[in-house]
């Protein structure tokens, strides 16, 4: 069985680039694939969703070998041989994914057109036809916001539960979200996970913005400190939207939090020798630290405004903060 070229290109990206695999698993669905590719796509994406990593051929075969899956193993080997021969460029993934989604939309439209062509004038149930057309349009409109769901009898879920439990037992960080380094918040959320929405609420002047920026900074740093000049451990890429505070003020507060120097002294360039050295250390750290903290100053932004900015960003951020 030879898969269509576009399916092979997307699948090759999913088994070679972790970032693309996680993005696709979180935002898309296997229904985008042609019917010939559904089986292998479900295997690969199911693994990515479970382990937050990309599978190898060896891993998939070992997992399938636990059951009576001889035919499926041969199918996987056959497809994997095609994937090995498929050459992709990481920089072209977004372009290829757009073509992939467009192909799905075209097939939906053609299918609707063919169904309508079979209708006989005078015998058309208009309500049913309208509902089918609306379903098609909704399916196309949701391509970039596909809501996946999982339906299993609890008995069928037992092997997955046991496998996940053992993986968590062997690796305490398995399937945990991003830590904010606020113990009470990390305990309550078990770490921030994709699609999590956390709202910080309180009365005016109670320090919501300070608290939120502190969370953002600690999430950005993780276990790193400004005393480091190299040998950084894993941090996180953060984008921070400031809807009320101008960029310069937000940056000064950011620098104040890192250095421990009052923001008003930074704003007025009123630093003694000791404070100057603290600021210099922060600036040196920021210039060398490999993880990004992007501040976006945009007043009265709507959700659509923020979505457009995020879509235009070249970087992929681990967490989004909106103040």
Low-confidence ranges of the chain (pLDDT < 70): 142, 144-151, 172-175
pTM of structure: 0.55
Distance CA(181)–CA(153), nearest Å, equals: 37
Q: What is the pLDDT of residue 147?
A: 52
Q: What is the pLDDT of residue 148?
A: 53
User: Domains of the chain, with CATH numbers?
Assistant: 5-145 (1.10.860.10), 183-322 (3.40.50.300)
Q: What is the dihedral of CA 219, 223, 227, 233, to 10 degrees?
A: -100
Within a 13 Å sphere around the CA of 121, how many CA atoms are in the beta-carbon half? 0
**Tens of pLDDT along 185-232?**
888 888 888 778 888 888 888 888 899 999 999 999 999 999 888 889
**Tens of pLDDT along 275-304?**
999 999 999 999 999 999 999 998 878 887
Report residue 196 CA to chain centroid gap. Answer: 11
List the Cα angle 7/10/15 in 5-degree steps.
120
- Helices 154-170, 38-51: axis angle to 10 degrees equals 50
């Amino acid at each position: 069985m030879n898969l269509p070229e576009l399916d092979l290109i997307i699948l090759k990206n999913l088994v070679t680039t972790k970032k693309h695999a996680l993005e696709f698993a979180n935002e898309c669905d296997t229904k985008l694939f042609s019917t010939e590719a559904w089986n292998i796509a479900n295997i690969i994406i199911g693994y990515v969703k479970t382990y937050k990593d990309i599978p190898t051929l060896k891993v998939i075969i070992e997992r399938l070998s636990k059951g009576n899956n001889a035919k499926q193993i041969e199918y996987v080997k056959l497809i994997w041989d095609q994937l090995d021969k498929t050459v992709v460029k990481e920089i072209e993934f977004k372009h290829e994914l757009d073509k992939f989604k467009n192909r799905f939309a075209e097939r939906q439209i053609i299918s609707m057109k063919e169904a309508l062509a079979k209708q006989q004038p005078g015998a058309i149930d208009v309500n049913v036809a309208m509902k089918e057309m609306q379903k098609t349009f909704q399916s196309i409109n949701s391509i970039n916001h596909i809501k996946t769901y999982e339906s299993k009898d609890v008995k069928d879920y037992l092997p997955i539960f046991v496998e996940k439990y053992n993986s968590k037992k062997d690796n305490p960080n398995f399937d945990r979200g991003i830590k904010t380094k606020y113990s009470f918040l990390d305990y309550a959320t078990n770490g921030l996970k994709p699609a999590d929405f956390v709202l910080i609420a309180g009365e005016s002047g109670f320090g919501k913005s300070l608290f939120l920026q502190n969370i953002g900074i600690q999430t950005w740093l993780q276990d790193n400190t400004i005393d480091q000049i190299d040998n950084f451990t894993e941090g996180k890429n953060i984008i921070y939207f400031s809807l009320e505070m101008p960029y310069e003020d937000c940056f000064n507060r950011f620098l104040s939090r890192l250095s421990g120097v009052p923001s008003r002294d930074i704003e007025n360039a009123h630093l003694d020798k000791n404070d100057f050295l603290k600021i210099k250390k922060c600036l040196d750290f920021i210039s060398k630290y490999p993880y990004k903290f992007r501040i976006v100053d945009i007043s009265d932004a709507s959700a659509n405004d923020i979505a457009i900015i995020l879509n235009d960003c070249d970087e992929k951020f681990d967490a989004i903060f909106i103040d």
